[in-house]
Structure 1
């Protein structure tokens, strides 16, 4: 049996772009959440507008170039025209779009919070399930590691997480988790409950021995 819980990574801002400004000494641009559209006959160009964090100088990132207007649905076109924040964020986080524009994102500039049920390791090890399953919801890709979410949500130290991984207790989409793995929206992480119990008991024993030695 498997018991599943949900973890949600909620971003607070779009990533800055690493780009030198031609008007000041700044090297970062922030997404404005606005688009620029330029229609010529049956073709249209669409850019996502960025602004220098210091002087407000603009940089336009190409979203579509010389694309036929009929190839964009009316719903999507209206979102571009109305500067829809949701679609602006989709493109601002698009690693493919950033690469196509020969740009570089500052992923560390993304602020976030992780929403998760208030479950301690002690709560998890007392469950009956053989595997404890966690679905991670994160609609935007910003190179965040799965291991960071696990550490935060389970309240584990880096050393404890390493011990857990060394025992082959954590699975990522049915494969053993490696620390380099990055989050994709909707992925599932499974943890072997008994191995988590063993890790917890080892920690208790270490604490007891240290107390005795004192």
Structure 2
């Protein structure tokens, strides 16, 4: 059975919102990780509070509008009431909620880190699999191209990554790799091991290439 290696993409902050402030000249709002709740009889409104990055003016992004209180579990209601950071980030990254509020997220404002196994050429040579399999794990989708993650995790220059693509050596979810594709949690990337080795060795000594070809 082949091994599936993990590429973990971890966001360090929530995306800013592209929105003009009515009190200053700023065009960005930052999530406060806090909610505003307003209950009227059996209905409830829930907003995620944003603040202008310059003057602290507030903007409330609707999460739920006029929904029945019984439609929200007690556990989730308590998370909203207690300003739980995990659920705040969930909705701050929700492209559906952002779209419904007719605002735009600044996805480039999201800082991130990627945790991945670092394979040497020798490690790759000693593997048995024809295709090396990787799975992406991420709690949030933030409009990042899969090609960016792949180039980082394989530690390749853009030109060498393009060589892999041109050689049809990379597949995503069993389909040919699309450069413009934005990654999703659970995506599986497979890379042809031999072509990857040869790509790493471009510009290296011919002696090393002979060793690989003769394995």
TM category, shorter: over 0.9
1:51-110 Cα deviation digits (max 9, x unpaired): 000110000000011000001111111100010000000000001100000000000000
Q: How many residues align?
A: 208
Partners of 2:147 and 2:125 lie apart in 1 by: 19
Matches within 5 A, 1:66-77: 66-77=66-77
- 1: CA distance between counterparts of 2:121 and 2:137? 21
Q: Which ranges in structure 1 are unaligned for 5 or more consecutive residues?
A: 209-214
What's the offset of the Cα at 1:127?
A: 1.3
Aligned to 1:186: 186
Alignment partners' CA distance in 1, 2:120 and 2:15: 32
**Corresponding position of 2:85:** 85
Over 3 Å counting, the alpha-carbon distance change for 1:107 and 1:11 in structure 2 is same
CA RMSD, Structure 1 to Structure 2 (Å): 1.7
* Corresponding residue of 1:127: 127
TM-score, normalization: structure 2? 0.92
1:24 counterpart residue number: 24
Q: Deviations over 1:18-70 (max 9, x none)?
A: 00000111100000000000000000000000000011000000001100000
- What is aligned with 1:50? 50
Q: Helix, strand or coil for the counterpart of 1:204? A: coil
5+ residue gaps, structure 2: 209-215
2:173 corresponds to: 173
Q: Normalising by the residue count of structure 1, what TM-score does the alignment of the two structures yield? A: 0.92
SS in 1 for 2:80: helix
